[in-house]
Structure 1
């Protein structure tokens, strides 16, 4: 076989060799991506639990978006979705759903994060009971809540039931009156003030309740609504919460 024939055969083989190499590289890339997808959630879960000081057995579902291998090589995930059926944040226990943007895998702050926390009537009662309002029990009636308690007139306890619409405003819980019953009688605002004076004036006016001391300082409440048996709280998360211990501690009310 002459040299020209050998060269011709080599030229014929070369595209096939190149194709095989490309296919092998593609297969390796796919395999690496699959391995990354299988392993990464556990790694990310461990980082979140460690940096936020959550219990080691905390139930936490983790899902990352996009093609992961380049993100892992770069050391930062584009988007990470975290969800749990039950977690204690500050002094409040509920389910949580959070999306974090720009998640560092080798330490550092998040670029951004936000999500929702869902709590039941008992937990919501804890939020309100920590204020100065005479509230013993909360019942949900979408979109409102009914707060029951009592106040004292000349040393005599007077039962009260107030219906209010909850919302969030500037990080605080805002309760706007809708109606009230005092001692079993339904009264309007003027009648309440006329009969009971300042002792019951809070029932007729919007009430602002600071809950910063019941949530980590790195969380800010941005929205609140009643959805069936749950209160849905929208939160904004300071990206530095994963590195700054002060943001992981409960805030303060001025």
Structure 2
């Protein structure tokens, strides 16, 4: 054959017609595809349940915390016979739901800027512990009463001191008035340090001024006789009959222009109405 009619070679099968690979097949054999693994959903369901329960607990806590002050305020106002519009702040410590289930509040704070109890007006701050929700005595309670100069004057008004005005200047109080000697009124100012002894107020003299001149207390006692001795001795003042019987004074300090009285409250005051009545001072 001539070179003009040469036989052409067959095309390379691997280059122009590649062999197709069947998915899933291996070495030309069929293979069964592995089934898809099913996801576990229960951890997500449990997480959702926990979140929902937590949200419900938070909501319940908020509801209880918003309702409690109004309930406590109503009870206190009724028991103490206070005006219906009496300002009273109430705050409970800790998480309330477990305490409500247990039937007792751990700690309850009551405070007001001004309240009148048995004729004495002042700012009161009381903390009660172990407050029963289904009746019963308090585990305990204590607090402070802050009074101004006019109220402090009322408290010590039954002493033998010549009291017309009282000025508070920490840590002392200065009592001013006049005494009559030979028919002549003599202005006198006595500076005392207030305190508490066995539930009574105690006023210890630390300075004396007569007619604008500072004098020695011993000289006054000797020159004015029994009158001078009464003025310059330590005074004890019972004020139990000016407070509810369930309240006992445990301390007294002058802070600035206020007298700060520490009190202890009998836990039975929550169940014994007699402890809400005025106390009694012994007859002198």
Please indicate, yes or no, whether the TM-score normalized by the shorter chain is above 0.5: yes
Largest Rg, 1 or 2: 2
Aligned partner of 1:68 in structure 2 is 96
Residue 191 (structure 1) shift: 1.0
Answer yes or no: is 1:174 the counterpart of 2:216.
no
SS at match of 2:224: helix
Aligned partner of 1:51 in structure 2 is 79
Name structure 2 gaps, 5 residues minimum.
Answer: 1-34
Answer yes or no: is 1:99 the counterpart of 2:116.
no
Give the aligned CA root-mean-square deviation in angstroms: 1.8
Runs of 4+ displaced beyond 6 Å: none
Deviations 1:181-208 (A, max 9, x none): 2233322122101210111212322111
Residue 16 (structure 1) shift: 2.1
Residue 89 (structure 1) shift: 1.8
Moved more, 149-158 or 25-34: 149-158
State the alpha-carbon separation in 1 of the partners of residues 97 and 72 from structure 2. Answer: 14
Residue 22 (structure 1) shift: 1.5
Answer yes or no: is 1:149 the counterpart of 2:160.
no
How many residue pairs get aligned? The number is 247
Name structure 1 gaps, 5 residues minimum.
Answer: none
SS at match of 2:86: coil
More helix by share: 1
Please give the residue correspondences for 1:113-124 in structure 2 after superposition, counting only pairs within 5 Å: 113-124=141-152
Please give the residue correspondences for 1:25-36 in structure 2 after superposition, counting only pairs within 5 Å: 25-36=53-64
Aligned partners of 1:52 and 1:242 also within 8 Å: no
Aligned partner of 1:109 in structure 2 is 137
Aligned partner of 2:248 in structure 1 is 220
More strand by share: 1
Aligned partner of 2:232 in structure 1 is 204
Which structure carries more relative contact order (alpha carbon 8 Å, separation 6+)? 1
State the alpha-carbon separation in 1 of the partners of residues 236 and 215 from structure 2. Answer: 22
Residue 32 (structure 1) shift: 0.5
